[in-house]
Amino acid sequence: MIDFIWNLTSFVVALGILVTVHEYGHFWVARKNGVKVERFSVGFGKAIYKRTAKDGTEYVLAMIPLGGYVKMLDERVDDVLPEDKDKTFNSKSVYQRIAIVAAGPMANFIFALFALYLMFLIGVPSVRPVIGHVEVNSIASKAGLPNNTEIVSIGGNKTRDWQEVNLSLIGEIGNEKIEVKTKDGDNLYIATSVLDTRDWNFSPDKVSALTSLGITPFRPNVHNELSAVAEDSPAALAGLKVGDKLVAVKGKPLDTWLDFAKEIKLYPLQEVLITINRDGNVMSLPITPSSIEQSGKTVGYIGVAPKADAWPESQLIELSYGPLDALMESAERTWNLTSLTFSMIGKLITGDVSVKNLSGPIGIAQGAGSSAGHGFVYFLGFLALISINLGIINLLPLPVLDGGHLLYYLIELFTGKEVPEKIQESGFKFGALALLTLMAIGLFNDFSRVLG
């Protein structure tokens, strides 16, 4: 329940920020072009808060936080006083209307640039993408990808941390080959490996890109010894203490910490017997794990952390830059994310990426909660990614979206005539149906992941 509330709150905050940015783009450019804005609403439905400014614009915060809108004076839908006719949206030139409609998506791209700029200015703690292990007979091993080396580029894109590695790999979906460059720890040698991905079975909802290729990132050794026991947790209530060494769960011997974690997850709200070694004395303690939601599944949780070796200093990095370099980095990341999103849309259309990979509001909420839980800089990165996606989706040529309106205005620009109202209405109906279909697919995928 706590995870649900956290994810929901993070989702509402993220969506509220991005919707406000998007609609403010329309609002600001409309006002600059002399259009009277009657209402600026964040959310739909019943108003939670509203205020009317001196210029007559009503600012509204509505109950359903799944979008927003800017209502402009328009003779096609409003009764307009003679003195206000020059303040209507429809009275403006086609160039002005294009600018007003395009301003929403453009505001999302500008916001993404700003969020990433702040992220790089503050600094993102991370680790170098060093390969810990390559699985035998995997795609990576067949390409000769070496262990204990750092991935420096994928498909020509530089990779400074694991996030950049994952983004680059996702961008390679559908390609028959992936070029991966690695270097050894002393920066003395750079090797190039070409992964044959014609038989690459990658399902993002089930496994990571790295795992599907047979790559395991380096991690410091983790020991079957407790380094922390949360206060009032099931572990604390059962009598577990820092320093206890884990021996078995329900009589099943444990070789690694991962074995222990997997076993505990199997028994939410069920009593299990844990065997430990405490200062040379072997004893068994009954414990009832609580239940939490993890990756859409209910798993057991007892509130302990293992003792682990420290990360090698040489592998710890912080992506932090000065004001000018941070701007350059944010511009490059914005461009890369935009290109990646367009590429994925294209691959969805061609079938290289399955519609099963689409996420709906539940998946986005989980992403918001996860990023916010890791810290402010990671939440900034999430906001930038979703803002870019929101901007691109709104530019799609579906009549119900900004891109659809732009399509009509471009036709008007070249023909000198407005698109007939009946054609526009038919287009809006088609666009609404297509959008609802995509949303339904996203929701279906979300529920499949949660229930599966």
Q: How far apart are CA 242 and CA 229, in angstroms?
A: 6
Give the mean model confidence (pLDDT) for residues 261-282: 90
Which residue carries 């849309």 as its tokens? Answer: 345
Tell me: pLDDT of 1 over 60: no
Asked whether the beta carbons of 442 and 355 are under 8 A apart, the reply is: no
**Is pLDDT larger for residue 351 or for residue 229?**
229
pLDDT in the model for residue 11? 77
**Is pLDDT larger for residue 310 or for residue 294?**
310
DSSP code, position 340:
H
Q: Which fold has domain 126-220+310-319?
A: Pdz3 Domain (2.30.42)
pLDDT in the model for residue 12? 79
**Is pLDDT larger for residue 4 or for residue 77?**
77
pLDDT in the model for residue 209? 82
**Phi (first) and psi of residue 369, to 5 degrees:** -65, -40
Tell me: pLDDT of 106 over 90: yes
CA dihedral 114, 401, 448, 451 (to 10 degrees): 70
Give the mean model confidence (pLDDT) for residues 271-280: 91
pLDDT in the model for residue 96? 92
> Which helix (H) or strand (E) covers residue 95, if one does?
helix 94-122
DSSP 400-445: TSHHHHHHHHHHHHHHSSPPPHHHHHHHHHHHHHHHHHHHHHHHHH
Asked whether the beta carbons of 60 and 76 are under 8 A apart, the reply is: no
Confidence of residue 378 (pLDDT cuts 50, 70, 90): confident
Residue 191, classed as helix, strand or coil, is strand
What Å distances lie between residue 268 and 54, 97, 256, 271, 299, CA to CA? 58, 57, 20, 8, 5
First to last CA, the chain: 19
Please return the burial class of 415, using the count of CB atoms within 10 Å of its CB with bins 0-12, 13-18 and 19+: exposed
Q: Which tokens sit at 63?
A: 């109950």
Tell me: pLDDT of 284 over 80: yes
Give the mean model confidence (pLDDT) for residues 14-33: 91
Q: Which tokens sit at 411?
A: 């036709």
Do 126-220+310-319 and 222-308 fold alike per CATH?
yes
Give the mean model confidence (pLDDT) for residues 155-175: 86
Lowest average pLDDT, out of 104-108, 143-147, 156-160, 439-443, goes to 439-443
Asked whether the beta carbons of 120 and 330 are under 8 A apart, the reply is: yes
**Is pLDDT larger for residue 451 or for residue 40?**
40
Instruction: Give the whole-number percent of the chain exceeding pLDDT 70.
Output: 87
pLDDT in the model for residue 295? 59
Q: How far apart are CA 235 and CA 227, in angstroms?
A: 12
Asked whether the beta carbons of 124 and 376 are under 8 A apart, the reply is: no
Tell me: pLDDT of 202 over 80: no
Q: In angstroms, how far is CA 208 from the centroid of its own chain?
A: 14
pLDDT in the model for residue 121? 93
**Is pLDDT larger for residue 3 or for residue 267?**
267
DSSP code, position 12:
H
Tell me: pLDDT of 187 over 80: no
Beta bridge partners of 2: none
Among 377, 380, 392, smallest CA distance to 17 is for 380
Asked whether the beta carbons of 362 and 439 are under 8 A apart, the reply is: no
Q: Which fold has domain 222-308?
A: Pdz3 Domain (2.30.42)
Catalytic (active site) residue 172: no
pLDDT in the model for residue 99? 95
**Is pLDDT larger for residue 330 or for residue 45?**
330
Residues 203-242: pLDDT tens digits?
A: 766 677 888 888 889 988 888 899 998 888 898 999 999 9
pLDDT in the model for residue 44? 83
Please return the burial class of 9, using the count of CB atoms within 10 Å of its CB with bins 0-12, 13-18 and 19+: middle
> Which helix (H) or strand (E) covers residue 335, if one does?
helix 323-350
Could you say which of 23, 164, 172, 263 is catalytic? 23
Confidence of residue 294 (pLDDT cuts 50, 70, 90): low
Q: How far apart are CA 289 and CA 120, in angstroms?
A: 40
- Count how many residues are written for the chain: 452
Tell me: pLDDT of 362 over 90: no
pLDDT in the model for residue 28? 94
pLDDT in the model for residue 364? 62
Asked whether the beta carbons of 45 and 63 are under 8 A apart, the reply is: yes
Among 123, 158, 152, smallest CA distance to 318 is for 123
**Phi (first) and psi of residue 441, to 5 degrees:** -65, -45
Lowest average pLDDT, out of 18-27, 71-80, 257-266, 379-388, goes to 71-80
Whole-model pTM over 0.75: yes
Q: How far apart are CA 120 and CA 127, in angstroms?
A: 15
Domain ranges within the chain, ordered by starting residue: 126-220+310-319, 222-308
* Cβ contacts of 153 within 8 Å, gap of 6 or more: 159, 168, 179, 180, 181
**Is pLDDT larger for residue 151 or for residue 82?**
151
Asked whether the beta carbons of 131 and 151 are under 8 A apart, the reply is: yes
Q: Which tokens sit at 197?
A: 């991905």
Which residue carries 């210029």 as its tokens? Answer: 55
pLDDT in the model for residue 188? 64
